[in-house]
């Protein structure tokens, strides 16, 4: 066991940590320094990083073929549900029909659980991982101690007095808001484009 | 002549005094100026012969309640102790521990509340710290940076009260009692808290030697001060010992966090629920998340956990909405209720009333219920029941094929609603009619959202039984609504915790997320090859052990 821990410590201390440190330095040089050079305010920097992370998530979503996989599951689900409906119609006895529906529900649940696990993995890779990794990096770039030295507050946007029970916005709050807003905009734009395309196809047919 | 004699005597006395003073001045040498966190340090030196030794090791940087990053902790501690400053870690290693504390049996565990009875309430041996008024005046001068009654009272709080320990001291009590503060050589006082402490003092010469391992999760570059009989004599720096999670405030190899989360990911696939509970237990027991000084450990675990539960529902909702499988009047009321509970009630009351001690205890109770449920599902009777039902399905599968051939396939249903009523209305879903109760969903949502956000979990383990058993909805209807509930819990809970000053440990969250994602990918592929019954029983056993550990019902687990 001791040897395993030694190996894990070695991998972590000599490969993974230096790799992430380099990545962090590289990202700082590429993103933060130019923004500093342009005198962009810290809250806006964090906001822009949220937008960039959302764009990364959007790109990952396409690379991981999430819409296609979801569509495939939807088809399987509909097929099973369809079969269940036909089965239920063929049984006259209410109790037998209920029992059948319950068991076939369970069967579909199993399918659903497996899908959800896969779903979690894909969406985790597209959305959760970029957010947590970006946040881990951002908290190193804008640590609370540095914010306190710079602005006299550990909050990124200090409202001074409490507004609706909120004293201000932390780095995490600004970043997450920017991320979510950007994703909402991206999904909205995507939806609009799809609708427009569908309309154009319809017009073409007519 | 007489005057000259008097002056010479005076000079001689001064010389003797200075000589003695020089020889009495304590001298100290440390085994190292820098030690790895968790490693022992040896302090050797001399004090005035015949005296007792009071060696204080503590943080150089003092903590004030106003330094608390957590809103609730700041309010509570400021109310109790004002602007008093104390070192979070404070040890007095002494040859006269009886002057500062005395061993006694004390009631611990659930000393109040609905579970304040054995075995949840139990007796353990603790080192009871004496009140300031009972400490001899000469000893009061030996306590380093602690010079007032208010400081001493604050220290007692941070070493005897679980809230103080989990918020400020952070060092786990040895033997389930109080955190280490007044200690001596184990051979001098054979009590659990003195284990690993070595103290020798030659009273004739004043030569002493002390060896102690300070708290193992001290942050890298923490500066510690050493006081000998009241005088600051030396200091040393704590160096990192492996990877340090900055917000979780614990040393742990990130790969171990990843591997553990990977296993949880695989288990999540097998169980289909309770991933949040497992992650919470993993953070408490294996990773040992402590949180920053001034934030109760539970208030770091909860937002980190909620963040991990956010991912699974986030876009599943989008798909369901697109498929028009949302019973929206129900989902909206349920999600609104949950959002309200998770934002306004859960975190607020959890931060205040569910600190680490209570959090662990009630998490243990929840683990017991889920463990029993899992065990029940693995029983031969349950499996037989399932098998019998599956046989019926096989029989009717044939009928399906025939129906398809004859073209009798029915169209897929959609969710349809009659006239909306806040109390009760009829709803058709996939060709079946159900009674919808928006008010019940709203109230249930508020309650469950508050509970889920309090524990920092998604709440799926509550939502599904509520939907299927209490509300009587089929799974296809219940799953999207429950998913909207999990999403609302995560959003409401995270937003509130972050606004209250409780931040997740992002690096830890990244490691756990990566591991869980990996486990989630591998799980479905190996699920069929795994012995499901055996695994379910093992999981049930693990959950029951977690219950026993968190509720401390067995003496050796305290």
| Residue among B377, B125, B389, B136 at smallest CA distance from B270 | B377
Three-state DSSP at A11 gives helix
pLDDT at B213 over 80: yes
User: What backbone torsions phi and psi does residue B122 show, to the nearest 5 degrees?
Assistant: -145, 170
* Cα A152 from Cα B172, distance rounded (Å): 34
Range with lowest mean pLDDT among A51-65, A149-163, A184-198, B359-373:
A149-163
Spell out which residues of chain A touch residue B316, defining contact as CB-CB under 8 Å.
116, 119, 123
pLDDT at B164 over 90: yes
* Cα B34 from Cα B26, distance rounded (Å): 21
Provide the pLDDT for residue A126.
85
Q: Which of A11, A117, A125 sits opposite B524 (nearest CB)?
A: A117
A109 touches chain B (CB under 8 A): yes
**Who's near B261: CB < 8 A, 6+ residues apart?**
B279, B282, B511, B512, B513, B514, B515, B516, B518, B519
- Mark yes or no for CB contact A81/B524 under 8 Å: no
Q: What is the β-pairing status of strands B198-202 and B207-212?
A: antiparallel
* Cα B303 from Cα B340, distance rounded (Å): 17
Name the burial class of residue A99, with classes exposed (0-12), middle (13-18) and buried (19+) by CB atoms within 10 angstroms of its CB: middle
pLDDT at B146 over 60: yes
Provide the pLDDT for residue B386.
60
Spell out which residues of chain B touch residue A109, defining contact as CB-CB under 8 Å.
272, 475
Burial A18-32 (b: 16+ CB within 10 A, else e): eebeeeeeeeeeebb
Q: What is the share, in percent, of chain B residues with pLDDT greater than 90?
A: 35
Provide the pLDDT for residue A48.
95
Residue pointed to by tokens 């209720």? B337
Long-range CB contact pairs, B170-173, < 8 A, 24+ = B170/B88, B170/B215, B170/B217, B170/B249, B170/B290, B170/B291, B170/B293, B170/B297, B171/B89, B171/B215, B171/B217
Provide the pLDDT for residue B281.
87
The interface residues of chain A toward chain B in range 42-101, judged by CB-CB distance below 8 A, are 66, 70, 74, 78, 81-83, 85-87, 89-91, 96, 99-101
Provide the pLDDT for residue B400.
45
- DSSP3 helix / strand / coil % (chain A, rounded to 5): 85, 5, 10
Provide the pLDDT for residue B165.
93
Which range scores top for mean pLDDT: A13-22, B193-202, B355-364? B193-202
* Cα B470 from Cα B464, distance rounded (Å): 9
- Mark yes or no for CB contact B516/A124 under 8 Å: yes
Nearest CA in chain B to A84: B400
Which range scores top for mean pLDDT: A64-73, A190-199, B289-298, B306-315? B289-298
Provide the pLDDT for residue B335.
87
Two structure tokens written together for B285: 């027991």
pLDDT at B150 over 90: yes
Residue boundaries of the structural domains of chain B: 28-241, 245-557
Question: For B3-32, how does the pLDDT look when each residue is reduced to its tens digit (9 = 90+)?
Answer: 656 666 655 555 544 444 444 566 789 999
Does the bond joining A171 to the residue before it have cis omega, within 30 degrees of 0?
Answer: no
Hey, of B396, B494, B528, B532, which one would you mutate to test binding to chain A, going by the most A CBs within 10 A of its CB? B396
Spell out which residues of chain A touch residue B504, defining contact as CB-CB under 8 Å.
135, 172
pLDDT at B62 over 90: yes
| Confidence class for position B311, pLDDT limits 50, 70, 90 | low
Q: Which of A116, A125, A176 sits opposite B517 (nearest CB)?
A: A125
Beta bridge partners of B104: B126
Spell out which residues of chain B touch residue A13, defining contact as CB-CB under 8 Å.
242-243
pLDDT at B94 over 50: yes
Range with lowest mean pLDDT among A8-17, B21-30, B90-99, B170-179:
B21-30
Q: Provide the shortest C-alpha distance from residue B414 to chain A (in Å).
A: 11
Hey, of B255, B351, B405, which one would you mutate to test binding to chain A, going by the most A CBs within 10 A of its CB? B255
pLDDT at B483 over 80: no
Provide the pLDDT for residue B3.
61
Spell out which residues of chain B touch residue A16, defining contact as CB-CB under 8 Å.
254-255
Helix axes B298-314, B346-353, angle to 10 degrees: 150
Provide the pLDDT for residue B230.
92
A9 touches chain B (CB under 8 A): yes
Provide the pLDDT for residue A182.
94
Q: Which of A16, A81, A187 sits opposite B476 (nearest CB)?
A: A81
A119 touches chain B (CB under 8 A): yes
pLDDT at A79 over 90: no
A106 touches chain B (CB under 8 A): yes
Range with lowest mean pLDDT among A12-21, B38-47, B208-217, B249-258:
A12-21
The alpha carbon dihedral of B354, B359, B363, B364 has a sign of: negative
Which range scores top for mean pLDDT: B91-95, B101-105, B431-435, B454-458? B91-95
Provide the pLDDT for residue A128.
82
Q: Which of B269, B314, B514 sits opposite A114 (nearest CB)?
A: B269
Provide the pLDDT for residue B21.
45
Provide the pLDDT for residue B212.
95
Hey, of A69, A124, A131, A154, which one would you mutate to test binding to chain B, going by the most B CBs within 10 A of its CB? A124
Q: Provide the shortest C-alpha distance from residue A134 to chain B (in Å).
A: 9
Q: Provide the shortest C-alpha distance from residue B159 to chain A (in Å).
A: 27
| Confidence class for position B421, pLDDT limits 50, 70, 90 | confident
Provide the pLDDT for residue B18.
47
Provide the pLDDT for residue B387.
60
| Confidence class for position B409, pLDDT limits 50, 70, 90 | very low
Spell out which residues of chain A touch residue B510, defining contact as CB-CB under 8 Å.
129, 132-133, 136
- Radius of gyration, CA atoms only, chain B: 30
Burial B43-82 (b: 16+ CB within 10 A, else e): bebbbeeebbbbbbbbbeeebbbebbbbbbbbebbeeebe
| Confidence class for position B412, pLDDT limits 50, 70, 90 | very low
Question: For A88-145, how does the pLDDT look when each residue is reduced to its tens digit (9 = 90+)?
Answer: 776 677 777 777 666 666 666 666 666 666 666 777 788 888 988 998 899 888 887 7
Residue B162 near residue B176, CB atoms below 8 Å = no
Provide the pLDDT for residue B69.
84
Provide the pLDDT for residue B280.
87
Q: Which of A117, A132, A165 sits opposite B506 (nearest CB)?
A: A132
pTM of the entire predicted model = 0.77
Provide the pLDDT for residue B200.
95
Beta bridge partners of B86: B63
Provide the pLDDT for residue B315.
46
- Mark yes or no for CB contact A103/B389 under 8 Å: yes
Spell out which residues of chain B touch residue A9, defining contact as CB-CB under 8 Å.
242, 253
Q: What is the DSSP letter of B485?
A: H
Hey, of A70, A88, A120, which one would you mutate to test binding to chain B, going by the most B CBs within 10 A of its CB? A120
- Mark yes or no for CB contact B315/A13 under 8 Å: no
Q: What is the share, in percent, of chain B residues with pLDDT greater than 70?
A: 81
Q: What is the ipTM of this complex?
A: 0.71
Beta bridge partners of B416: B428
- Mark yes or no for CB contact A106/B386 under 8 Å: yes
A19 touches chain B (CB under 8 A): no
Hey, of B374, B404, B513, which one would you mutate to test binding to chain A, going by the most A CBs within 10 A of its CB? B513
Provide the pLDDT for residue B17.
47
* Cα B255 from Cα B445, distance rounded (Å): 37
Please indicate whether residue B542 or residue B110 has the higher confidence score (pLDDT): B542
E-strand stretches of chain A? 157-163, 166-169
pLDDT at B410 over 50: no
Q: Which of B311, B474, B514 sits opposite A123 (nearest CB)?
A: B311
Question: For B357-403, how does the pLDDT look when each residue is reduced to its tens digit (9 = 90+)?
Answer: 888 888 898 888 888 887 887 787 776 766 655 554 455 445 445 54
The whole-number average pLDDT for the span B151-179 is 90
Nearest CA in chain A to B306: A128
Provide the pLDDT for residue B312.
53
* Cα B327 from Cα A69, distance rounded (Å): 24
- Mark yes or no for CB contact B312/A8 under 8 Å: no
**Who's near A29: CB < 8 A, 6+ residues apart?**
none
Provide the pLDDT for residue B14.
56
- Mark yes or no for CB contact B312/A119 under 8 Å: yes
Range with lowest mean pLDDT among A119-123, A160-164, B76-80, B191-195:
A160-164
Q: Provide the shortest C-alpha distance from residue A23 to chain B (in Å).
A: 14
Average pLDDT, rounded, for chain B: 82
Which range scores top for mean pLDDT: A149-163, B76-90, B381-395? B76-90
């Amino acid at each position: 066991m001791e040897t395993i821990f030694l190996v894990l410590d070695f991998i972590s201390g000599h490969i993974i940590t230096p790799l992430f440190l380099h990545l962090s330095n590289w990202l700082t040089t590429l993103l933060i320094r130019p923004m500093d050079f342009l005198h962009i305010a810290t809250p806006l920097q964090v906001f822009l990083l949220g937008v960039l992370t959302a764009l990364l998530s959007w790109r990952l979503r396409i690379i991981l073929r999430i819409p296609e996989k979801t569509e495939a599951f939807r088809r399987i689900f509909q097929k099973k549900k369809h079969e269940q409906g036909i089965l239920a119609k063929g049984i006259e006895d209410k109790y037998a029909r209920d029992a059948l529906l319950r068991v076939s529900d369970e069967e579909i649940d199993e399918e659903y659980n497996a899908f959800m696990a896969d779903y979690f993995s894909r969406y985790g890779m597209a959305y959760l991982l970029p957010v947590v990794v970006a946040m881990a990096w951002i908290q190193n770039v804008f640590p609370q101690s540095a914010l306190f030295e710079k602005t006299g507050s550990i909050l990124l946007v200090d409202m001074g007095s409490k507004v609706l029970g909120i004293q201000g916005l932390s780095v995490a709050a600004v970043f997450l808001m920017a991320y979510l807003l950007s994703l909402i905009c991206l999904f909205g734009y995507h939806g609009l484009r799809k609708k427009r395309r569908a309309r154009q196809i319809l017009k073409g047919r007519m | 002549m007489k005057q000259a004699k008097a002056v010479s005597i005076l000079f001689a006395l001064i010389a003797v005094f200075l000589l003695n003073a020089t020889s009495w001045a304590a001298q100290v040498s440390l085994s190292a100026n820098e030690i790895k966190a968790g490693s022992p340090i040896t302090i050797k030196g001399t004090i005035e012969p015949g005296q007792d030794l009071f060696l204080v090791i503590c943080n150089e940087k003092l903590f004030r309640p106003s330094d608390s990053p957590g809103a609730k902790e700041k309010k509570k501690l400021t109310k109790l102790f004002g602007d008093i400053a104390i070192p979070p870690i404070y040890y007095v290693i002494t040859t006269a521990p009886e002057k500062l504390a005395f061993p006694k049996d004390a009631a611990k565990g659930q000393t109040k509340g609905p579970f304040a009875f054995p075995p949840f309430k139990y007796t353990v041996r603790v080192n009871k710290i004496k009140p300031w008024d009972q400490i001899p005046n000469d000893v009061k001068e030996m306590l380093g940076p602690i010079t007032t009654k208010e400081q001493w009272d604050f220290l007692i709080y941070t070493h005897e009260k679980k809230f103080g320990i989990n918020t400020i001291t952070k060092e786990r009590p040895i033997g389930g009692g109080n955190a280490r503060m007044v200690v001596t050589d184990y051979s001098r006082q054979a009590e659990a808290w003195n284990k690993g402490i070595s103290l020798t003092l030659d009273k004739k010469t004043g030569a002493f030697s002390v060896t102690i391992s300070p708290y193992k999760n001290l942050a890298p570059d923490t500066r510690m001060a050493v006081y000998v009989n009241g005088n600051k004599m030396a200091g040393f720096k704590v160096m990192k010992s492996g990877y340090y999670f900055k917000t979780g405030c614990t040393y742990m190899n990130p790969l171990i966090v990843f591997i553990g989360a990977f296993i949880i990911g695989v288990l999540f696939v097998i169980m289909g629920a309770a991933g949040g509970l497992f992650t919470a237990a993993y953070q408490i027991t294996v990773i040992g998340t402590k949180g920053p000084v001034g934030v109760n450990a539970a208030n770091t675990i909860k937002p980190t956990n909620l963040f991990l539960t956010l991912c699974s529902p986030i876009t599943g909702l989008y798909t369901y909405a697109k498929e028009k499988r949302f019973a929206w009047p129900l989902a909206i009321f349920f999600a609104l209720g949950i959002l309200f509970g998770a934002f306004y009630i859960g975190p607020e009351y959890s931060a205040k009333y569910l600190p680490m001690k209570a959090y662990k205890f009630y998490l243990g109770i929840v683990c017991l219920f889920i463990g029993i449920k899992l065990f029940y599902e693995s029983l031969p009777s349950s499996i037989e029941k399932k098998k019998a039902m599956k046989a019926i399905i096989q029989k009717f599968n044939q009928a399906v094929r025939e129906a398809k051939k004859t073209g009798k396939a029915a169209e897929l249903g959609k969710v349809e609603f009659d006239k909306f009523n806040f109390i009760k209305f009829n709803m058709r879903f996939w060709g079946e009619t159900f009674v919808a109760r928006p008010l019940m969903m709203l109230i249930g949502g508020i309650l469950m959202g508050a509970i889920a956000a309090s524990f920092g979990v998604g709440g799926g383990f509550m939502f599904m039984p509520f939907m299927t058993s209490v509300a009587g909805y089929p799974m296809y209807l219940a799953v999207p609504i429950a998913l909207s509930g999990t999403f609302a819990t995560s959003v409401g809970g995270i937003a509130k915790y972050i606004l209250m000053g409780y931040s997740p440990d992002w690096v830890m969250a990244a490691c756990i997320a990566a591991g869980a994602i990996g486990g989630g990918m591998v799980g479905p592929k190996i699920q069929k090859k795994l012995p499901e019954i055996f695994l379910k029983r093992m999981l049930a056993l693990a959950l029951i052990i977690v219950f026993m550990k968190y509720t401390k019902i067995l003496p050796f687990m305290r």
